[in-house]
Amino acid sequence: CILVRTLRIERSVSEDPVGFEQCIEKDLQHTEGQLQMEEFSLPDFQATYLRFIIKSAFDHFVSVHRVMAEGT
């Protein structure tokens, strides 16, 4: 992503995307002219749905270029 200041990840374990609960919230480092790349390790973590919330930014506009989730 670019220009994201605070990111929150929430999860739902329901069959429908309801009842989300917060998993992690993190302030990202501002990297002028470079992509912000963060890796979150959540062992013993179950989720059916994930929701990514950009709570604040370093500018009026942000961009998200890729989101990857790995698991079984």
pTM value is 0.88
Residue 54 in domain: yes
Residue 61 in domain: yes
pLDDT at 3: 97
pLDDT at 60: 95
Residue 14 in domain: yes
Residue 2 in domain: yes
Domains identified in the chain, total number: 1
pLDDT in tens, 11-63: 999 999 999 999 999 999 998 889 999 999 888 889 999 999 999 999 999 99
Cα–Cα dist 52/12, whole Å: 12
pLDDT at 45: 87
Cα–Cα dist 25/29, whole Å: 13
Domain encompassing residue 54: 1-28+45-71
Residue 6 in domain: yes
Residue 40 in domain: no
Residue 33 in domain: no
Residue 24 in domain: yes
Q: Is 14 exposed, middle or buried (0-12, 13-18, 19+ CB in 10 A)?
A: exposed
